[in-house]
Amino acid sequence: MGNSFAMLMDGFQTAFTPTNLMFGLLGTFLGTLVGVLPGIGPALAIGLLLPITLTVNPTSALIMFAAIYYGAMYGGSTTSILLNTPGESGSVITALEGNKMAKAGRAGAALATAAIGSFVAGTIATLFLAFGAPTLAEFALTIQPAGYLSLIILAFATVGTLLGSSRIRGLVALSVGLVIGLVGADLQSGALRLTFGNLNAIDGIETVTVIVAIFALGEALYLASRHSLVPVEVLTMKGKAWMTKEDFRRSWKPWLRGTAIGFPLGVIPAGGSEVPTFLSYGVEKALSKNKDEFGKGAIEGVAGPEAANNANAAGVLVPMLALGLPTSATAAVVLVAFQSFNIQPGPMLFQTSPEIVWGLIASLFIGNALLLVLNLPLIRFWILLLKIPTHYLYAGITTFALLGAYALNNSTFDLQVALAVGFIGYLFRRFGVPITPLIIGVILGPLAELYFKRALQISQGDWHILIDGSFPKVIYSILILVIIGPLVWNFKKKFAVNKK
Amino acid sequence: MEIPQGSSIVSPQTFPYMVALFTSLVGLALILEVLRGRYATPDGNEPGDPFVPANFKTMAILAAAIGLHVILLEIAGYVVAATLCFWGVAFAFGSRKYLKDLGISLAFAGIVYFSFTKGLNINLPSGFFEGVLGK
């Protein structure tokens, strides 16, 4: 604990150098800019901006990413409130109440409670991250490969079955991701798998290409196919983005409750920001004295879920940094950002690269504060961005996504992959298949294989090692409870209904 | 697949077979689900929304714009490829102000090209502007 505090102070020292501060500032600006653009969530925002950091030193680049990460979330809530087009699942709820508030002329209060709530939740949750992640990393050093494998399988199961409306479609998305992750030379033996004789495929499929293509190109193709080009109504904001005393009184408890719900659900692999924001909304609705306002623009319904969303984003960084396990699409992109500098997040990270990881955590605090200071006064500037016509917006997103796919390796093969993955993204959207499980599959699939092999090497090929020891047993028990439990329960319910 | 000699305890085929098994199982489950009439709703639709047939024409224009970018990038250079791609996507999304779009496309491609090559030192193909734009 005391050690963490000292390290965090060192981190602030790293983050406060003029260069790094400048990159932090640039990151908050770019993050908000891209996050405000309709249809771009934080995962795509970071994916699109990844090439920008190719030539920057790792510490500055990761500080910039931390700023982009929070900035994109801030920007996303602005779009949800004023445009009713949430860029990611976490802001769906914000759009629900926030857009109603904006329609009733209370856009300023909605934006303010979202921004201040995000700041409060982000700061508290980052504190928990700073002290929780090293502890978790220390514990994680004792986890055996079989234990890691069980954690990954748990993440697969939760992300695959909790997202979207259909479990089977989530698992289908996961399996497509796993197959994409297999392409290329096997790390240990060098055997070529699924390359079909293509020399470019030996190094595997770039994760960033997959992410950028499935979000940007997939979305563009889908929107084009639906030719739903009715211009969306941008709501105007009267007055300043600020709240009255009454708004404050109604907001502070939802902020804290949202934080309490969002952070823990980010740490455990509960499948992204969908669950905590929905939960927070439900809690606020149940506790509110103004229940009749819900659905018509209740400020609690913006304050709680926005706080939960931001706290969740910080929570997701805990397993990402301490275990190397991303459980949301956004965390997955941050992990890729680390990997592009040959830094592997995981238990060793806090020992091998303390200056980077603590600089990153410190800059999360700084970025969060900068966002609040910058965004409330600049809100009118961001609103201007919402008026970009759809055709230019998607032209820009598509062209920039292709640039991102190309600039990574300067290879047209990556562009061909991007086009193909874009079509998969189109099909997924058309047939209601969730996208995040695919990304988790691409990233965690190769890791799962690695731990699987290591475990079997330790046991000399005895498969019992996979369920040996208390840690894997605990994890698999949780898995059975979480996945099989609801199935049995549903079945019983159906059975009861049929009997009647 | 060629398996190199002296592979370790776990063959490089083991895990892919497990993935293949999993993929087949969930694939079968999906087929069964669809046969039983349980369709999912397309992204952005609510259950019960009227079915909107896809407009494959606009989609094809968009895909062509992307494809053109892929083909032209290393032959004609970034500025040409990106300008045409930007213009094509705007066209696919219903814009019909050809000249204004061309101007905006060119400006977008030019700004991106210069900020990446000069500002960030990331190389992009210059194509036949090589002499003019310098490198």
Q: How many CB pairs under 8 A join A and B?
A: 199
How far does B65 lie from chain A, in Å, by closest CA? 10
Q: Quick one: tokens of A72?
A: 């994109």
Q: What is the pLDDT of residue B71?
A: 92
Query: Quick check: is B19 in a domain?
Result: no
Query: Quick check: is B68 in a domain?
Result: yes
Q: Is A85 exposed, middle or buried (0-12, 13-18, 19+ CB in 10 A)?
A: middle
Q: Quick one: tokens of A71?
A: 């900035």
**Greater model confidence, A1 or B17:** B17
Contact A453 B15 (CB under 8 A): yes
d(CA A398, CA B83): 12
Residues B16-40: pLDDT tens digits?
999 999 999 999 999 998 898 888 8
- Residues in CB range of A391: below 8 A, 6 or more apart: A229, B89, B90, B91, B92, B93, B94, B95
Q: Model-level pTM?
A: 0.86
Enumerate the residues of chain B whose CB falls inside 8 A of the CB of residue A225. 54-56, 58-59
Asked whether residue A80 carries a pLDDT value surpassing 70, the answer given is: yes
Enumerate the residues of chain B whose CB falls inside 8 A of the CB of residue A416. 70
Enumerate the residues of chain A whose CB falls inside 8 A of the CB of residue B97. none
Q: Point out the least confidently predicted range of A38-52, A345-359, B53-67, B118-132.
A: B118-132
Average pLDDT over residues B39-43: 80
Strands A184-185 and A192-193: antiparallel
Average pLDDT over residues B116-129: 79
Contact B55 A227 (CB under 8 A): yes
Asked whether residue B134 carries a pLDDT value surpassing 50, the answer given is: no
Asked whether residue A165 carries a pLDDT value surpassing 80, the answer given is: no
Residues A189-232: pLDDT tens digits?
778 888 888 888 888 888 889 988 998 899 899 888 886 555 55
A434-465 as b/e: b if 16+ CB within 10 A = bbbbbbbbbbbbbbbbbbbbbbbeebeeeeeb
Share of chain B above pLDDT 90, in %: 47
- Give the max Cα distance, chain A: 71
Q: Point out the least confidently predicted range of A185-194, A247-256, A278-287, A417-426.
A: A185-194
Residues A218-272: pLDDT tens digits?
989 988 888 655 555 666 666 666 778 888 888 889 999 999 999 998 888 766 6
Q: What is the pLDDT of residue A231?
A: 54
User: In this complex, which of B86, B91, B92 lies closest to A399 when CB atoms are compared?
Assistant: B86
Q: What is the pLDDT of residue B135?
A: 43
Query: Quick check: is B64 in a domain?
Result: yes
Contact B19 A229 (CB under 8 A): no
How far does A5 lie from chain B, in Å, by closest CA? 35
Helix (H, G, I), strand (E, B) or coil at A192: strand
Share of chain B above pLDDT 70, in %: 84
Share of chain A above pLDDT 70, in %: 91
Q: Which amino acid is at A415?
A: L
Average pLDDT over residues A67-83: 85
Domain count, chain B: 1
Angle at which helix B78-92 crosses helix A390-407, to 10 degrees, equals: 140
User: In this complex, which of A395, A412, A457 lies closest to B70 when CB atoms are compared?
Assistant: A412
Q: Point out the least confidently predicted range of A179-183, A453-457, B7-11.
A: B7-11
Give the chain A residue whose CA is nearest to the CA of B95. A391
- Residue-averaged pLDDT of chain A: 85
**Greater model confidence, A487 or A383:** A383
Contact A226 B27 (CB under 8 A): no
Asked whether residue B1 carries a pLDDT value surpassing 60, the answer given is: no
How far does B28 lie from chain A, in Å, by closest CA? 10
Q: Quick one: tokens of A289?
A: 């004295």
What pLDDT band is residue B4 in, cutting at 50, 70 and 90? Answer: low
**Greater model confidence, A93 or B16:** B16
Residues B53-76: pLDDT tens digits?
788 888 999 999 999 999 999 889
Enumerate the residues of chain B whose CB falls inside 8 A of the CB of residue A179. 19, 23
Residues A6-57: pLDDT tens digits?
888 888 888 888 888 888 888 888 888 888 887 777 788 888 888 776 778 8
Enumerate the residues of chain A whose CB falls inside 8 A of the CB of residue B120. 51-52, 54-55
Q: What is the pLDDT of residue A30?
A: 87
Query: Quick check: is B90 in a domain?
Result: yes
Query: Quick check: is B47 in a domain?
Result: no
| CA distances, A499 to each of A24, A425, A490 (Å) | 62, 42, 14
Q: Quick one: tokens of A318?
A: 């805990």
Torsions phi, psi for A44 (to 5 deg): -70, -35
Q: What is the length of chain B?
A: 135
How far does B128 lie from chain A, in Å, by closest CA? 18
ipTM: 0.89
Contact A402 B94 (CB under 8 A): no
Asked whether residue B91 carries a pLDDT value surpassing 70, the answer given is: yes
Enumerate the residues of chain B whose CB falls inside 8 A of the CB of residue A449. 15
How far does B131 lie from chain A, in Å, by closest CA? 21
Contact B16 A432 (CB under 8 A): no
d(CA A90, CA A382): 20
**Highest mean predicted confidence (pLDDT) among A403-417, B21-35, B36-50:** B21-35
Q: What is the pLDDT of residue B70?
A: 92
Helix (H) or strand (E) holding A117: helix A107-140
Q: What is the pLDDT of residue A452?
A: 93
Contact B105 A395 (CB under 8 A): yes
Query: Quick check: is B129 in a domain?
Result: yes
Contact B9 A461 (CB under 8 A): yes
CB A436 within 8 A of CB A272: yes
Contact B62 A186 (CB under 8 A): no
Q: B100 lies in which domain range?
A: 56-133
Asked whether residue B130 carries a pLDDT value surpassing 80, the answer given is: no
